[in-house]
Amino acid sequence: MKLLFTVIVTFFAGMGAGLGTGFAGMSAAAVISPMLITFLDMDPYMAVGIALSSDVLASAISAYTYGKNKNLDVRNGLIMMVSVLVFTIVGSYIASLVPSATMGGFSVCMTFLLGIKFIVKPVMTTKETMLAVSAKKRAVQSVVCGVIIGFICGFVGAGGGMMMLLILTSLLGYELKTAVGTSVFIMTFTALTGAISHFAIGGAPDWTVFFLCVVFTLIWARIAAVFANKASPKTLNRATGVVLVVLGAVVMLFSLLT
């Protein structure tokens, strides 16, 4: 009975995380962690480690799907990734020196509000408009935005995927599919770094929960990424918006239960 309950919890956790990753480049940690903590009484540090591990393959398969459909900016994604990783460390260090201000709901609220934004004001930038920006200007913008995203993630401790999607679409003028593809590409490496450090510090996870979360998240991320790449911009904006609003609301509910 306990195993069946574990399978049910990890299935829904993986489904939510996978849909969020495949549609919007959202970090699996935002969905999986609160569900494992709430329903399986898992240690929060280990729950985040399992969520990050689930994020690695889910983001990788999503990035592959977006790249196959030519909706991935590898060059600027790599530039941004380096900035994000470096300044996440800087942000974490500065956060350790400052009196703790509670910003735990930042990522959840951002997910919910970003979902509403995609429904009310969809991103309709075309690939032609996006490619009109010079390569040099785009590279500089990628470094600056990577610094901002990394610092906020390190300081607040969450919100990487959502921050990237917001900045790529709003500040860098990316077309939505390319923004999500680039976001999941970056998240593959940031999640891998986070997962390795978590298990190196906290020890081995519950392998049953680990395996189930990784598999379910991977399956749903693949389904979402395939659908997203075939959908029209208008349909994709609405689908992404609905997924984010629902996930944001559900995670808020779980946060109240813990």
How do residues 223-245 score in pLDDT, each as one tens digit?
A: 999 999 999 888 989 988 898 89
Model confidence band, residue 156 (pLDDT cutoffs 50, 70, 90): low
- Nearest CA to 18 out of 220, 254, 252 is that of 220
pTM for the predicted model, two decimal places = 0.85
The Cα angle at residue 66 between residues 32 and 225, in degrees rounded to 5: 45
Tokens of 203: 């020890």
CB 216 within 8 A of CB 9: no
Choice between 128 and 61, residue whose per-residue pLDDT is larger: 61
Q: How many CB atoms lie within 10 A of CB 85?
A: 17
CB 251 within 8 A of CB 110: no
Could you identify the residue written with the tokens 């069946």? 4
- Looking at every residue in the chain, the average pLDDT score rounds to 85
Q: How many CB atoms lie within 10 A of CB 38?
A: 18
Half-sphere exposure of 206 (CA within 13 A, CB side): 19
Written as one letter, the residue type at 170 is S
According to the model, what pLDDT value does residue 103 have?
Answer: 47
Rounded (to 5) percent helix, strand, coil in the chain:
85, 0, 15
Q: What is the mean pLDDT of residues 170-175?
A: 86
According to the model, what pLDDT value does residue 70 have?
Answer: 92
Q: What is the CA 209 to chain-centroid distance, rounded?
A: 20
Tokens of 257: 């239960």
Indicate the domain borders of the chain.
57-257
